[in-house]
Amino acid sequence: MAGLTLDHITKTFTDSRKDVIAVNDVSIDIADGEFLVLVGPSGCGKTTILRMVAGLESLTSGEIRLDGDVINDESPKNRKIAMVFQNYALYPHMTVRENMRFGLEESTNSSDTEIERKVRETAELLDISELLDRKPKELSGGQQQRVALGRAIVRDPAVFLLDEPLSNLDAKLRAHMRTELQRIQEELHVTAVFVTHDQTEAMTMGDRIAVLNDGELQQIGTPLECYHTPANQFVAEFIGSPSMNFFELEVQGSRLISMTANGRFEYPISEETRDAIGDRATVVLGIRPEDIIVSEDRGGEHTFEAVVDVVEPMGNENIVYLTFDSDTMSPDTFIAAVDGFKQISAGEPVIVQMPEDDISIFDAKTGETLR
Ligand code: ATP
């Protein structure tokens, strides 16, 4: 049993010129056996959180608890927590077996046969039994990744910390290792915290994801919760690919309005949306590319004239870059994802529909989700 609690943790680094708040008052409860993904852009504090949990970095304030026990001052060795790094950090002069044994010899006083048994079992779990006598330089990236995992697993940790462990692998291997990692984590029933800035990894791997920005927790929830009910514009933009489209619009009665080169863009809103907006003068309308309907004929509510700028055929779908402005390169390009069989080409005038059921509305200043 290993529930991990981050209770109002903060980390401030004191630079020669100024303080950097790397992690700002973050609280997360991670259940025993849960796979939590920490996701956010570069510099948002992901690695710093892992390093604090591992005991490699002290906390400025707050508490970290493992199964209810405060571990702030526990040495890394005594934490029953294993960390796997992005660059694997294997010892180059040691064989795979020695690399794996090293982790174990360091942290326990098990007998030699016990250690050997553990190494063999783990090698089997990871399908690297054939590689035990090789040195790291004789292994592929994917194999080195497995050894790094193996070195963590032999220690029988209660919590696994994984810092972008798949980022050095090619796309195909990365996809394979995503499912492998999940299988292993389930088989060992270990609590895992997985750091990534890749939103595909976040969407596909975690029981829950915690989205961070600027050291602050933006939202924690299942991948689908974060996708369908983002807490704010940052989460809405970060989760989902291609990203949600945003339009900053003025509120005028029961319409949202902006000026485009083609004239006025007017989006009529229901009473419910109007109520959610309150007395704000401007808001941001968001709509996901897959929710924009592209057709040739006008009709129905919330339809607008647009022009196709660029089409990226992806096979199963076309990513269509659109603009309201036919004459010049408009900064207001937006993206629709349409069926791959749909015939559509650059320069074509089209009608786009943005159904009100599919839009999100955000506060223009704070980014808070209003509906
Ligand atoms: P990445 O995805 O690029 O690895 P990250 O989300 O893991 O980024 P951190 O490495 O945790 O981000 O860094 C968070 C912030 O803290 C950054 O602004 C970084 O520059 C700063 N920082 C990290 N370590 C130190 C340090 N030892 N001294 C000063 N500032 C630091």
- Residue from 12, 20, 168, 213 whose mutation best tests the ligand 1 pocket (most atoms within 8 A of CB): 20
Residue 346 maps to a domain: yes
d(CA 269, CA 37): 36
Question: What is the pLDDT, as a whole number, of residue 66?
Answer: 95
For the chain, how many structural domains are there in total?
Answer: 2
Domain end point (choices 217, 238, 259): 238
CB 58 within 8 A of CB 48: no
Query: Which residues pair with residue 44 across a beta bridge?
Result: none
Question: What is the pLDDT, as a whole number, of residue 160?
Answer: 92
Question: What is the pLDDT, as a whole number, of residue 330?
Answer: 45
Percentage of the chain modeled with pLDDT above 70: 95
Please provide the average confidence, as pLDDT, over all residues in the chain: 90
Residue nearest to atom 31 of ligand 1 (CA): 13
Residue 368 maps to a domain: no
Question: What is the pLDDT, as a whole number, of residue 235?
Answer: 97
d(CA 141, CA 15): 35
- Residue from 47, 163, 196, 201 whose mutation best tests the ligand 1 pocket (most atoms within 8 A of CB): 47
CB 240 within 8 A of CB 227: yes
Residue 128 maps to a domain: yes
Together in a domain, 217 and 272: no
Together in a domain, 45 and 168: yes
Residues 6+ apart with CB under 8 A from 182: 35, 205
Residue nearest to atom 11 of ligand 1 (CA): 45
Together in a domain, 36 and 165: yes
- Does the CB atom of residue 196 touch ligand 1 within 6 A? no
Model pTM? 0.90
CATH number at residue 130: 3.40.50.300
> Which carries the bigger pLDDT value, residue 228 or residue 2?
228
Domain that holds residue 173: 4-238
Distance 21 CA to ligand 1 centre (A): 9
Residue 371 maps to a domain: no
The lowest-confidence range among 229-238, 299-308, 358-367 is: 299-308
Question: What is the pLDDT, as a whole number, of residue 325?
Answer: 66
Residue 83 maps to a domain: yes
The mean per-residue pLDDT over the stretch 82-104 comes to: 87
- Residue from 23, 37, 46, 51 whose mutation best tests the ligand 1 pocket (most atoms within 8 A of CB): 46
The mean per-residue pLDDT over the stretch 350-354 comes to: 93
CB 169 within 8 A of CB 196: no
Question: What is the pLDDT, as a whole number, of residue 263?
Answer: 67
Residue 370 maps to a domain: no
Question: What is the pLDDT, as a whole number, of residue 298?
Answer: 75
Together in a domain, 341 and 219: no
Give the tens place of pLDDT for each residue, 39-88: 999 999 999 999 999 999 999 999 999 999 999 999 988 888 988 887 77
Given a cut of 50, is residue 340 above it in pLDDT? yes
The mean per-residue pLDDT over the stretch 277-291 comes to: 96
Question: What is the pLDDT, as a whole number, of residue 328?
Answer: 46
Together in a domain, 295 and 200: no
- Residue from 9, 44, 85, 196 whose mutation best tests the ligand 1 pocket (most atoms within 8 A of CB): 44
Together in a domain, 95 and 17: yes
Together in a domain, 183 and 306: no
| CA dihedral for 216, 219, 221, 224, sign (positive or negative) | negative
Residue nearest to atom 14 of ligand 1 (CA): 45
Q: Helices in 29-111 by DSSP H: which ranges? A: 46-54, 96-107
CATH number at residue 261: 2.40.50.140
Question: What is the pLDDT, as a whole number, of residue 108?
Answer: 66
Distance 45 CA to ligand 1 centre (A): 6
Question: What is the pLDDT, as a whole number, of residue 92?
Answer: 92
CB burial readout 310-319, b (16+ within 10 A) else e: ebeeeeebbb
Give the tens place of pLDDT for each residue, 154-202: 888 899 999 988 887 788 888 888 888 888 888 888 999 999 988 888 9
> Which carries the bigger pLDDT value, residue 124 or residue 289?
289
Together in a domain, 61 and 87: yes
> Which carries the bigger pLDDT value, residue 264 or residue 209?
209
Question: What is the pLDDT, as a whole number, of residue 24?
Answer: 98
Residues 6+ apart with CB under 8 A from 163: 46, 47, 50, 83, 84, 85, 86, 195
Together in a domain, 230 and 267: no
The mean per-residue pLDDT over the stretch 278-302 comes to: 90
Distance 42 CA to ligand 1 centre (A): 8
Nearest to 260 by CA among 247, 245, 278, 272: 247
Domain end point (choices 238, 272, 292): 238
Together in a domain, 103 and 225: yes
Domain end point (choices 194, 212, 238): 238
Together in a domain, 108 and 231: yes
Question: Can you tell me which atom of ligand 1 is nearest the CA of 51?
Answer: 11
- DSSP for residue 198: -
d(CA 81, CA 183): 19
* DSSP labels, 212-264: EETTEEEEEE-HHHHHHS-SBHHHHHHSSSSPPEEEEEEEETTEEEEEETTEE
Together in a domain, 160 and 30: yes
CB burial readout 77-95, b (16+ within 10 A) else e: eebbbbbbbbebebeeeeb
- Does the CB atom of residue 62 touch ligand 1 within 6 A? no
